[in-house]
Each structure stands twice: as structure tokens, then as C-alpha cells.
């Protein structure tokens, strides 16, 4: 095994690190406080090729490998995980087209993302179907050369600003997961209503809304895959996105570790810097050890995709371990800071709030364990 990054991977990582250090991190407290959409940062990310990372160059994207995507996203999330969620939402939403679209659909639905900054969103979750996604109730009824979509989605990242929507709906609810079908809705057609921006605990720079579809007409040409293929499309998409979601945890946790190392060298108790107390050293050592363990799982899960291997099990290990790790490491960082850690004037409480979301979205930590158990039982 070769853990050495290539020169071009290190250069890419350095560009992402510089962008995170010089542009994202200085503005992160503002976006956290106001919950405004970070359009300026996203425009720069677009110019740098950090949006549409996984879309191959022939379809107008950056064509980064999966390993390169996790390298970039760890750096961006070190700057601000909410901003990174906004940047990566396009890649998540466009994965079904990339993985299952026809050549004509890729040309028509992906290429415009390379021509100017456009946003898209992944619309799977519903008020009554989050973890139990096979239970989704949005319907798609065939009407000539169109489908008619009805239903509602919730917690959709970038939904308030999206130019394109990747939507999962069922053609026959009685068939449970075998009725789910994937569609791409372009623009803001009549009948599509965007709900209010959710007031969130963390990752407040990401836009999260509900969407309502009332008799929204979608051309049959915008159905991705066959009728009833939507569930495997969604699952395969999540296999591909989990390494990147895991890398968000790495960025958040690494930031928390660095702050903790710095603060613990300055803060004195009982006549010496707190990091000279063994109890605190053990905590710092555990934080660092777990960040690195999560990084290795994350890299492995991305490497498997780059080498054409199915990564369901390892990517679930990575996403679950990294999310739980980031929650623990950021909580410990608040502990290292003592009372100051609890204050908004210091950087670590935001990291703790941001980390919590990774245990929830794109499959909760419980759902990851269900996937892991299913894989183990095979």
C-alpha cells in the first residue's frame, strides 16, 4: 500500500487549504451567526473547481478522483463544514445522473454546470420517510411523455437556491422500494414551492428547506434509470458520497484538535500549561489517534471507488466512525477549553454543533450500523 500522495494531489490539497484558511475560515463566524447563504465563497469554490468535483471534465466538471475529493473536502470543512455542505450538494445531487444517466442525459443535464455556477439538490427525505426511505410517499404518475409529481420533501440542502432538483418518487407505493423512481426537475416549474429556510443548530451556512410538488410535470426524458430503479440509484449514490461526508468530519475534528493543542499550551492551571497535565495529554492523544484512524478508513473507502471496487461496507465504516469521532473530538475540544469552550467567542462550540449533523444526514449513525450489519450477514 502506498500512502504517499502524488505531487498533483498535494498541490490540490494545498490550494484547498489556502482557500479554507484565507477565505472560508475568516467568514465562517459571520455565516454561522447570520445563517446567510455563502454565495461569495461558493463562487470562488466554483472558480477553483471545488464545485462539481466528481463530474468528469468531458461533462464540464473538475473530474477529481474520489480520493482527491476527500482530500479537498477535508480542507474545506476545516474552514467551515456548513459552507462545504453547500459546495458539495451539487455533487451529491448530480451523482445519480453521472452513475445511471444515459449519454444524452449527461450531456444535457450535467454540462450546464460547467458553463456557469448553477446549483442542484438531492431530494430524497420526506417528513414521514427519513431513515425508512423505502416508505417515501411522493408519487409520479405517467401522463403521455411526462410524469406528474406530487408530494413533499424536507431538509433539502441548497433547495432554496437550486436550479435543478434530483427527486425520488414512487410510481406505485404498494411496491415499496421497488416503486421508487428517480427524476430530474429542471428550473422552477409551476407547482414547485420552496418552504422556509430551517433555523439550524449547526452548519448554519448551508441552506435547508422543505419542497412541495403539486402536479409538477417532468418529461419522461428526465427519468434517470428505469421505473422502480430509484432505490438502488439512491443507495449507490450514497455509497459514492459517504467518503466525502466522512471527510467533512475529518476537517471539523482536525480543526478542533489544532485549537485544543494551541489553547492547552497557553492556558495555565496549577502553575503549568494544562497540556502538561497527564489527564489532558491522554485526551489530546485520543483525539489525534481517532482523527487519523477515521482518515485511513475514509481514504480506503474513496480508494476502493477509484479502483472500481464496491465500497458499501467500508464507506459505512468510514462515515459512521468519522461522524462519531468528530462528535467526540469536538466535545472533548470544548472540554479542553473549559468554560471558555462553551462561549461563542471561542471557535470550538461551533465545531461541536457542526459535527452533530454528520451523525444525522446521509444516513444516521444507526442506519450506517444497520448497513454494516447487513453487509456482515451476507
Ligand X SMILES: Cc1cc2nc3c(=O)[nH]c(=O)nc-3n(C[C@H](O)[C@H](O)[C@H](O)COP(=O)(O)OP(=O)(O)OC[C@H]3O[C@@H](n4cnc5c(N)ncnc54)[C@H](O)[C@@H]3O)c2cc1C
Binding site for ligand X (CB under 6 A): 121-125, 130-131, 155-157, 200, 208, 357, 360-364, 366-367, 370
Based on CB atoms, which residue is closest to ligand X, 326 or 357? 357
Q: What is the DSSP letter of 129?
A: B
Say if CB 53 and CB 61 are below 8 A apart: yes
Q: How far is CA 329 from the centre of its chain?
A: 19
Say if CB 215 and CB 166 are below 8 A apart: no
Least distance to ligand X, CB of residue 189, Å: 19
Least distance to ligand X, CB of residue 234, Å: 9
Handedness of CA 368, 371, 375, 377 (dihedral sign): positive
Least distance to ligand X, CB of residue 157, Å: 3
Residue linked to cell 490540490: 12
Say if CB 336 and CB 285 are below 8 A apart: no
From the candidates 104, 186, 362, 375, give the one annotated as an active-site residue.
362
Residue linked to cell 455533487: 91
d(CA 241, CA 102): 20
Least distance to ligand X, CB of residue 159, Å: 7
Among 95, 144, 81, residue whose Cα is nearest residue 354: 81
Least distance to ligand X, CB of residue 343, Å: 24
Say whether 14 is catalytic.
no
* Max CA separation in the chain (angstroms): 79
Least distance to ligand X, CB of residue 241, Å: 10
Handedness of CA 136, 193, 227, 66 (dihedral sign): negative
Among 90, 96, 223, 91, residue whose Cα is nearest residue 162: 90
Least distance to ligand X, CB of residue 82, Å: 9
d(CA 43, CA 179): 38
Q: How would DSSP label each residue in 234-258?
A: HHHHHHHHHHHHHHHHHHHHHHHHH
Based on CB atoms, which residue is closest to ligand X, 122 or 183? 122
- Looking only at the bridges linking them, the beta strands covering 192-194 and 139-143 are unpaired
Q: DSSP H helical segments within the chain, as ranges?
A: 7-19, 25-34, 39-48, 66-79, 81-100, 103-109, 112-115, 230-266, 278-306, 312-336, 348-358, 365-377
Q: Which of helix, strand or coil describes residue 210?
A: strand
Q: Nearest-CB residue to ligand X?
A: 130
Least distance to ligand X, CB of residue 309, Å: 25
Say if CB 92 and CB 241 are below 8 A apart: yes
Neighbours of 214 (CB within 10 A): 13
Neighbours of 211 (CB within 10 A): 25
Instruction: Write out the catalytic residue numbers.
Output: 362
Amino acid at each position: 500500500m502506498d500512502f504517499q500522495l502524488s505531487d498533483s494531489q498535494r498541490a490540490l490539497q494545498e490550494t484547498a487549504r489556502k482557500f479554507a484558511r484565507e477565505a472560508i475560515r475568516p467568514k465562517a463566524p459571520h455565516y454561522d451567526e447570520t445563517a446567510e447563504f455563502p454565495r461569495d465563497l461558493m463562487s470562488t469554490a466554483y472558480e477553483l473547481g471545488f464545485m462539481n468535483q466528481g463530474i468528469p471534465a468531458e461533462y464540464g466538471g473538475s473530474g477529481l478522483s474520489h480520493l482527491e475529493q476527500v482530500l479537498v473536502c477535508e480542507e474545506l470543512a476545516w474552514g467551515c463544514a456548513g459552507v462545504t455542505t453547500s459546495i458539495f450538494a451539487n455533487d451529491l445531487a448530480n451523482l445519480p445522473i453521472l452513475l445511471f444517466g444515459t449519454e444524452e442525459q449527461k450531456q444535457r443535464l450535467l454540462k450546464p454546470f460547467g458553463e456557469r455556477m448553477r446549483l442542484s439538490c438531492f431530494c430524497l427525505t420526506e417528513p414521514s420517510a427519513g431513515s425508512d426511505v423505502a416508505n417515501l410517499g411522493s408519487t409520479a404518475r405517467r401522463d403521455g411523455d411526462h410524469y406528474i409529481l406530487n408530494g413533499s420533501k424536507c431538509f433539502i440542502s441548497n433547495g432554496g437556491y437550486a436550479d435543478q432538483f434530483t427527486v425520488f418518487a414512487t410510481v406505485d407505493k404498494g411496491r415499496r422500494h421497488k416503486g421508487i423512481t428517480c427524476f430530474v426537475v429542471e428550473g422552477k416549474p409551476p407547482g414547485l414551492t420552496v418552504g422556509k429556510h430551517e433555523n439550524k443548530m449547526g452548519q448554519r451556512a448551508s441552506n435547508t428547506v422543505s419542497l412541495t410538488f403539486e402536479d409538477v410535470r417532468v418529461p419522461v426524458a428526465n427519468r434517470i434509470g428505469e421505473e422502480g430503479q430509484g432505490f438502488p440509484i439512491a443507495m449507490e449514490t450514497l455509497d459514492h458520497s459517504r467518503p466525502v461526508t466522512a471527510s467533512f468530519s475529518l476537517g471539523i475534528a482536525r480543526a478542533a484538535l489544532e485549537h485544543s493543542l494551541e489553547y492547552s499550551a497557553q492556558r495555565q492551571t496549577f502553575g503549568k500549561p494544562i497540556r502538561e497535565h497527564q489527564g489532558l495529554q491522554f485526551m489530546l492523544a485520543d483525539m489525534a489517534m481517532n482523527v487519523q484512524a477515521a482518515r485511513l478508513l475514509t481514504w480506503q473507502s474513496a480508494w476502493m471507488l477509484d479502483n472500481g471496487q464496491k465500497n458499501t461496507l467500508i464507506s459505512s465504516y468510514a462515515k459512521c466512525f468519522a461522524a462519531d469521532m468528530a462528535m467526540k473530538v469536538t466535545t472533548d475540544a470544548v472540554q479542553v477549553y473549559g468554560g471558555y469552550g462553551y462561549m461563542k467567542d471561542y471557535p470550538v462550540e461551533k465545531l461541536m454543533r457542526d459535527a452533530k449533523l454528520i451523525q444525522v444526514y446521509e444516513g444516521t449513525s444507526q442506519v450506517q450500523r444497520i448497513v454494516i450489519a447487513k453487509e456482515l450477514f451476507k
